[in-house]
Chain A
Amino acid sequence: MGTTLAEKVWESHVVRRAEGEPDLLYIDLHLVHEVTSPQAFDGLRLAGRPVRRPDLTIATEDHNVPTTGLGQPIADPVSRTQVETLRRNCEEFGVRLHPMGDASQGIVHVIGPQLGLTQPGMTVVCGDSHTSTHGAFGALAFGIGTSEVEHVLATQTLPLKPFKTMAITVKGQLAPGVTAKDIILAVIAKIGTGGGQGHVLEYRGEAIRALSMEGRMTICNMSIEAGARAGMIAPDETTFAYLKGRPHAPQGADWDAAVENWKSLVTDEDAVFDREVVIDASELSPFVTWGTNPGQGLPLSANVPDPKDFENEQDRVAAERALEYMGLTAGTPLRDIRVDTVFLGSCTNGRIEDLRAAADVLKGRRVADSVRMLVVPGSVQVRLQAEAEGLNEVFTAAGAEWRGAGCSMCLAMNPDKLAPGERSASTSNRNFEGRQGAGGRTHLVSPQVAAATAVTGHLAAPTDLAGEPALVNA
């Protein structure tokens, strides 16, 4: 019997296998940021242990960094301490760091691919659940906790029990204006926030093959929102073309050797997945969330659901609470929901294509007076690229705020926050209670929907705008 992509990558990283014990897996790349690492470095210091492979480790500052007043010290003393702690730790342990102000600084899951460090067939970990993003390259990439961060720093390995595998086949083609974000929101609504538990999801099918690397990253990014350990997409010519020439991509003869190896990273025809889910891309339309977990989503054309219509008791209770927290009434058309803030950014949708897609919608239009729109590029490089293309001017001319790179309002650890009761349309990945600020209410959307919402002041798709622009798939 053949093996799946996930199993192939797993098998090629087993350092040690023993009966009754987890496999010891080698880690090719360890990404580090300021929030989940201080206690891990402390642990090393206490035990007198070095970082085993600083050359397979890289750090950046992202979660706490302000996105205005760049170049100033961080005003919040607690955030500043955390960032300074990372700097000290990286220096002491010899780990390369991209600090604020560095040309390669940015959200950890944006800079790995951008630098060409994320490559097919690798194992990638980070003390951050959205490490699943890197699976878009055919890497086995997953989030870990701080104790595991310490474990990887000390040993470059992790003891792990094998994951189960799930195929998510997205067949057919997306309609114009429907994006990778809509696919993944629909997948999570279908399988539920616990549906992927214990599994690695492999996304396949025509609609996935047609996506750019950026769209693939958006999909893999949110695998964790379906409870999965990781998401993966088999590498292909799109992947190789994206990697070629990046700073850390192999060169010359090494490139040829690497590509030959990468081409073998596909699920065998006769491989069996533990579970299979099929979705028809042609039936998808722009998707938004109405509740307080990412599985509580519906097409934009739907109405706020009535909790009474949920068959399962837990789902009904959860929906009741969600509507109460979100301040929504069952039966309201989703399009009638007015928002105060639009956030375009995060490791889900803060890359250059996302900014281009939103700028296409905003060009020649104005953000509604009642709306504040923040545009936060995922990395310094994305920001510079956008500025080179003049996208920043489109945003500012429309009345949006053009910011520096970081996680920003995705989790509100820096000053970018929702006030209690404020409502946002956000291109990030989590609509949990208080995620974007205590009492804040979040609707997850694609960059295109975010931009159209900013213009109209209520949840909307580009097709709702007068003199609608040419639609592009992203």
Chain B
Amino acid sequence: MRAFTTHTGTAVPLRRSNVDTDQIIPAVYLKRVTRTGFEDALFAAWRQDPGFVLNQPERAGATILVAGPDFGTGSSREHAVWALNDYGFRVVISSRFADIFRGNSLKAGLLTAQVDQDVVERLWEIVEADPATPVTVDLVERTVSAGDLVAPFDVDDYGRWRLLEGLDDIDLTLRQADAIDSFESTRPSWKPRTLPVLS
């Protein structure tokens, strides 16, 4: 996983709440068996509307998405995170994220910065007034800044540490192999198995 410390880029104001993962990436795009190449799928239905914010020329190259509350609800599809990554986003800012989406983002190096809704509103105003305004998201300091706005954002300590270090979760867990072995040795024998086990 790529590490994340601080990032500066331009932002897209997405004035919608309850952006579910079916909107972020419709199900037809989930048939692919690869982990990359989903940039065309991001917000595919909404992008058909020429007026949609991502289609505005001044939003080209933006790397930060600022959305309304309850972003990433619905399906567990990690493809939603991959599509945001592939399109070029490094950060999503919202006042509330769905749990599974937030977990998935962390695994794929996409920062979900949770701020108060009034910070979202101010960011929308700032980047709508001037789309070229640079927005900085600093994971070390846990702040987001744009123009004269500086606001703290929420991210849990452990997740922050993993993002800063770019650490692979599976490697970390495999260091605990002894603990897993010993837990397994105490599991009740009546717990179900899906296969006959030869032993």
Note all chain B residues with C-beta closer than 8 A to A26. Answer: 180, 183-184, 187
Note all chain A residues with C-beta closer than 8 A to B187. Answer: 26, 28
Known contacts A78-B31, A317-B17, A155 near B103 by CB under 8 Å: no
Q: Are B194 and A257 in contact (CB under 8 A)?
A: no
Nearest A residue to B121 by beta-carbon distance?
Answer: A313
Note all chain B residues with C-beta closer than 8 A to A202. Answer: none
Whether B174 is near chain A, meaning CB under 8 Å from some CB there, is yes
Known contacts A26-B180, A55-B193, A96-B194, A430 near B74 by CB under 8 Å: yes
Known contacts A57-B194, A119-B192, A317-B17, A145 near B107 by CB under 8 Å: yes
Note all chain B residues with C-beta closer than 8 A to A22. Answer: 158
A20 and B100 CA atoms in complex are apart in Å by 21
Q: Are A432 and B23 in contact (CB under 8 A)?
A: yes
A11 to B: closest C-beta gap in Å: 13
Note all chain A residues with C-beta closer than 8 A to B141. Answer: none
Nearest B residue to A322 by beta-carbon distance?
Answer: B18
Q: Are A432 and B74 in contact (CB under 8 A)?
A: yes
A64 to B: closest C-beta gap in Å: 7
Whether B145 is near chain A, meaning CB under 8 Å from some CB there, is no
Whether B148 is near chain A, meaning CB under 8 Å from some CB there, is no
- Chain B stretch 165-199: residues in CB contact (< 8 A) with chain A: 169-170, 172-174, 176, 179-180, 183-184, 187-195, 197
Q: Are A56 and B78 in contact (CB under 8 A)?
A: no
Chain B 16-29 against A: per-residue CB contact (8 Å), 1 yes, 0 no?
11101011001110
Query: Of A193-201, A212-220, A459-467, which binds chain B?
Result: A193-201
Q: Are A79 and B96 in contact (CB under 8 A)?
A: no
Whether A305 is near chain B, meaning CB under 8 Å from some CB there, is no
Q: Are A248 and B31 in contact (CB under 8 A)?
A: no
A278 and B68 CA atoms in complex are apart in Å by 29
Interface size on B, residues (CB 8 A): 60
Note all chain A residues with C-beta closer than 8 A to B157. Answer: 20
Chain A 15-45 against B: per-residue CB contact (8 Å), 1 yes, 0 no?
1100011101010110000011011001000
Nearest A residue to B182 by beta-carbon distance?
Answer: A15
Note all chain A residues with C-beta closer than 8 A to B183. Answer: 15, 26
Nearest A residue to B99 by beta-carbon distance?
Answer: A229
Whether B8 is near chain A, meaning CB under 8 Å from some CB there, is no
Known contacts A20-B158, A154-B174, A42 near B35 by CB under 8 Å: yes
Whether B81 is near chain A, meaning CB under 8 Å from some CB there, is yes
Query: Of A348-356, A397-405, A433-441, which binds chain B?
Result: A433-441
Whether B104 is near chain A, meaning CB under 8 Å from some CB there, is yes
A26 and B96 CA atoms in complex are apart in Å by 28
A209 to B: closest C-beta gap in Å: 25
Q: Are A154 and B100 in contact (CB under 8 A)?
A: no
- Chain A stretch 358-412: residues in CB contact (< 8 A) with chain B: 411-412
Note all chain A residues with C-beta closer than 8 A to B68. Answer: 314
Note all chain B residues with C-beta closer than 8 A to A64. Answer: 31
A39 and B77 CA atoms in complex are apart in Å by 12
Partner of A117, one of B16, B103, B194, B197: B194
- Chain A stretch 137-158: residues in CB contact (< 8 A) with chain B: 143-148, 150-151, 154-157
A67 and B156 CA atoms in complex are apart in Å by 44
Note all chain A residues with C-beta closer than 8 A to B100. Answer: 129, 143-145, 229
Note all chain B residues with C-beta closer than 8 A to A257. Answer: 188, 190
Whether B129 is near chain A, meaning CB under 8 Å from some CB there, is no
Chain B 39-73 against A: per-residue CB contact (8 Å), 1 yes, 0 no?
00000010000000000000000000000111001
Note all chain B residues with C-beta closer than 8 A to A56. Answer: 193-194
Q: Are B107 and A147 in contact (CB under 8 A)?
A: yes
B129 to A: closest C-beta gap in Å: 20
Q: Are B76 and A151 in contact (CB under 8 A)?
A: no
B11 to A: closest C-beta gap in Å: 19
Whether B75 is near chain A, meaning CB under 8 Å from some CB there, is yes
Partner of A29, one of B75, B104, B192: B192
A49 and B173 CA atoms in complex are apart in Å by 13
Q: Are B170 and A47 in contact (CB under 8 A)?
A: yes
B8 to A: closest C-beta gap in Å: 27
A79 and B32 CA atoms in complex are apart in Å by 8
B182 to A: closest C-beta gap in Å: 8
Nearest B residue to A14 by beta-carbon distance?
Answer: B183
Nearest A residue to B178 by beta-carbon distance?
Answer: A16
Q: Are B98 and A197 in contact (CB under 8 A)?
A: yes
Whether A128 is near chain B, meaning CB under 8 Å from some CB there, is yes
Q: Are A129 and B76 in contact (CB under 8 A)?
A: yes
- Chain B stretch 102-148: residues in CB contact (< 8 A) with chain A: 103-104, 107-108, 117
Which 9 pairs of residues, A with B, have the shortest CB-CB distance? A147-B107, A145-B104, A145-B78, A38-B33, A254-B190, A143-B76, A250-B190, A146-B78, A78-B31
11 A–B contacts, CB within 8 A, in A order: A15-B183, A29-B192, A36-B77, A39-B35, A54-B195, A56-B194, A129-B76, A144-B103, A151-B173, A197-B96, A261-B188
Known contacts A35-B77, A52-B180, A85-B33; 16 additional CB pairs below 8 A are: A15-B176, A22-B158, A24-B176, A39-B33, A55-B193, A94-B195, A119-B191, A122-B192, A148-B107, A150-B170, A151-B169, A159-B173, A227-B99, A293-B73, A413-B31, A435-B27
